[in-house]
Amino acid sequence: MKQLAVFLAFALVVFSYACGGSEGPSSGDKPAPKSMIEEPAADDGKGIGEVKEVSLNSPLKPGMVETGKAIYEMKCAACHKLNDQRVVGPGWKGITERRQPEWIMNMTTNVDVMLEQDPAARELLKECLVRMPNQNLSIGDARDVLEFMYANDGQEVGN
C-alpha cells in the first residue's frame, strides 16, 4: 500500500509538471512573433480587388457613357435607382462624390470579397440587408458603368 501511495504521488508530480504546473514561463505565455500576427491593411478607400488606379476622363467619353448606361439598364436598374432613393440597393446619385473610382470598380467586379472584407461595403450590407449579387462584370464593363455614374452625377460628357 505504501508503494502505491509513493507511485501515485510521483505520478501526480510528473503529470502536474508535464501539464504546465511548473513556475517558469511556458511557450503558450509568450506572445507570437510580430511576423506571425496578421496586421489589418490600412483602408485607403479603394476597396479590395484588382483595380488599384483609375484615370478619369474629362470630359467623359460618350461611347463609354452609353455602354455603361446599357449595362446599368440590363444588370443594375432592378436594384439601384439613379436618384438617391434606395430600393434594394442604395441609389446612385452622388456615389462618385462619396466613393473613390477604384472602390466603385472593385465593388462591381469583386463584390463577394468586398462584402466580406471591406469596411464600407460591410456597412452597406448592414444597411441594405441584401447581398449584392455578382453580375460578372469585366473590368472594361465596370469602367463603362463608372463613366455612366459620373455622367449621372453631372460630369461633362464630351462630343
Closest to 132 (Cα-Cα) out of 116, 148, 155, 147: 116
Q: What is the pLDDT of residue 19?
A: 57
Number of domains in the chain: 1
Other beta carbons less than 10 A from residue 113's beta carbon: 15
Query: pTM for the full model?
Result: 0.73
Answer yes or no: is 21 within a domain: no
Answer yes or no: is 1 within a domain: no
Answer yes or no: is 36 within a domain: no
Answer yes or no: is 51 within a domain: no
Instruction: Let me know if 37 is exposed, middle or buried by CB neighbors in 10 A (0-12, 13-18, 19+).
Output: exposed
Answer yes or no: is 4 within a domain: no
Please state, in angstroms and rounded to a whole number, the distance separating the CA atoms of residues 62 and 144: 10
Amino acid symbol at 64: M
Answer yes or no: is 85 within a domain: yes
Q: Compute, in degrees rounded to 10, the torsion defined by CA atoms 95, 107, 58, 78.
A: -60
Domain of residue 82 covers 62-152
Answer yes or no: is 18 within a domain: no
21-53 per-position pLDDT tens digit = 445 455 556 665 555 555 556 789 999 999 999
Residue 105 sits in a domain whose CATH number is 1.10.760.10
Q: What is the pLDDT of residue 50?
A: 96
Answer yes or no: is 11 within a domain: no
105-143 per-position pLDDT tens digit = 999 999 999 999 999 999 999 999 999 999 999 999 999
Please provide residue 104's backbone torsions phi and psi, each rounded to the nearest 5 degrees. -60, -45
DSSP secondary structure letters along 56-92: PPSSBPHHHHHHHHHHIIIIITTTB-SSS-BSSS---
Cell for 127?
A: 444597411
